[in-house]
Amino acid sequence: MAKAVSELNASHIEELAKSFGEALRETPLIRSQSLEKRVQSKQALFLKAENLQFTGSFKARGALAKILEILKEAKEKGVITASAGNHAQGLAFHASRLGVSAKIVMPIGTPIVKMRATKQWGPEIILFGESYQEAYEEATRLAKESGRAYVHAFDDWTVMAGQGTIGVEILRQCPDVSSVFLPVGGGGLLAGVGSYLKAKNPKIKLIAVQAEGCSSLIPSLKKGSPVSLDKVNTIAEGMAVKRMGEKSFSICQSLVDETVIVSDEEISDALLWILENERLFVEGCGGATVAAAMKRSDLISGSSVILLSGGNLDVDLLARIIERGLAKQGRRTQFEVVIPDSPGSLEALLHVIAQEQASILQVHHERVFTKTALREVVTHIEIETSGLEHLQRVKASLEKTSWPVRFLP
């Protein structure tokens, strides 16, 4: 049984890292020369790939640490938690492995991929509430009712210490690290990793990253205590917490050197960039840290580590991110053009596009729901190009024709 803690200290975090053994994976630290070039950094940039951790997230670390601490009680009465997905998976995975009964309360909007991934380890899943906070309140009620041990997703000293084992790996893999980009939701990750790194080297800069739709850290720092948000709205659902933890915030407020807020659009751009350039499947929280490094490259000092916190991204959401990203880059475009409704007109139009070597993805004629003349047809076309420069050439060629052309936003 792991010993209980009421604070965070480096020696305990190191002990945890050793005790985990093969129950946790030491995730790779990958140098990203592509990102260095993208942000024009003369410093080495590394991606800490916690998306490759067991269950696809760093959350498996804190969950394991807590179960080991209360293992006897957990085997007798079981455990319960509230989670939007990653903590749920980590807890369910280790509970199953250690013979512990688990019950998980998830918000109704939890991504299907995370729900299915959690369910495979055999816990009882309850869908409740529109947010993590509502799920949390229901889970704590059920914990009191059933006697199960509640395992908090972030506001627990042992859970935070478990997350801190990432810091042990970072220093072992990159001893000269100067700055670290970390995503912040409830604050457990920042508290754990930050406490360890600052204890070992107070000069390491900690850059806290939050999504625009759930940024509670900055107002909490200004007030000096956790601030509750009225609502959260972001594709980085792992960050979608209305209020930081009391314990975690008490640690975080003394650790943070810089804060960065990124929009969902910036996160989406980063996710697509990571997929194309590093061939890594990363969820919103992981994309947020890369987006922050792209947005605030001035914060990069010396060798820097960017934490990819998880890889549990809903593939349907990924499809939308890819489509929008391609459109934004000018690689996917739709337009409509009015042509004569007569043989040969479509062929002539497509010939113009083909001459510019653009790929035609879809063609659709609209004859009924339009105000054009009866002998005309509105043709909707979706094309693929190599980028904005190529797209401009296609547009220029089409505008030289006599057909009215309108490119869709």
Asked whether residue 2 is domain-assigned, the answer is: no
Does 46 share its domain with 139? no
The CATH number assigned to the domain holding 90 equals: 3.40.50.1100
**What values do phi and psi take at 108, rounded to 5?**
-60, -35
Does 205 share its domain with 102? no
Between helix 264-278 and helix 315-328 the angle, nearest 10°, is 90
Find the catalytic residue in 32, 48, 59, 131: 59
Where does a domain end: 297, 319, 341?
A: 319
Q: Are 163 and 58 in contact (CB under 8 A)?
A: yes
Does 115 share its domain with 209? no
Does 85 share its domain with 205? no
Does 241 share its domain with 333? no
Cβ-proximal residues to 2 (8 Å cutoff; 6+ apart), any chain:
16, 19, 65, 68, 69, 158
Does 185 share its domain with 272? yes
Does 42 share its domain with 135? no
Structural domain of residue 136, as residue ranges?
Answer: 59-150
Residue 1 has pLDDT above 50, yes or no: no
Give the count of domains, the chain.
3
Asked whether residue 5 is domain-assigned, the answer is: no
- 114 catalytic residue (yes or no): no
Asked whether residue 1 is domain-assigned, the answer is: no
Write down the mean pLDDT value for the chain.
Answer: 94
Asked whether residue 4 is domain-assigned, the answer is: no
Does 131 share its domain with 179? no
Q: How confident is the model at residue 6 (pLDDT cuts 50, 70, 90)?
A: low
Q: How does strand 29-31 pair with strand 45-49?
A: antiparallel
Task: Please give the pLDDT value at position 382.
Answer: 97
Cα 228 to the center of its chain, rounded Å? 21
Rounded Cα–Cα distance for residues 88 and 90 (Å): 6
Rounded Cα–Cα distance for residues 300 and 228 (Å): 30
Where does a domain end: 150, 174, 203?
A: 150
Identity of residue 76: E
What radius of gyration, in Å, describes the C-alpha atoms of the chain? 25
Task: Please give the pLDDT value at position 63.
Answer: 98
Closest by CA to 262, choosing from 251, 246, 273, is 273
Give 15-70 pLDDT, tens digit per residue. 999 999 999 999 999 999 999 999 999 999 999 999 999 999 999 999 999 999 99
Rounded Cα–Cα distance for residues 226 and 99 (Å): 36
Residue 2 has pLDDT above 60, yes or no: no
Where does a domain end: 319, 354, 375?
A: 319
Rounded Cα–Cα distance for residues 390 and 132 (Å): 45
Find the catalytic residue in 57, 179, 304, 309: 309
Closest by CA to 203, choosing from 103, 301, 293, is 301
Closest by CA to 314, choosing from 118, 125, 131, 112, is 112
Does 38 share its domain with 103? no
- 309 catalytic residue (yes or no): yes
Q: How confident is the model at residue 147 (pLDDT cuts 50, 70, 90)?
A: very high
Rounded Cα–Cα distance for residues 60 and 377 (Å): 57
**What values do phi and psi take at 333, rounded to 5?**
-140, 145
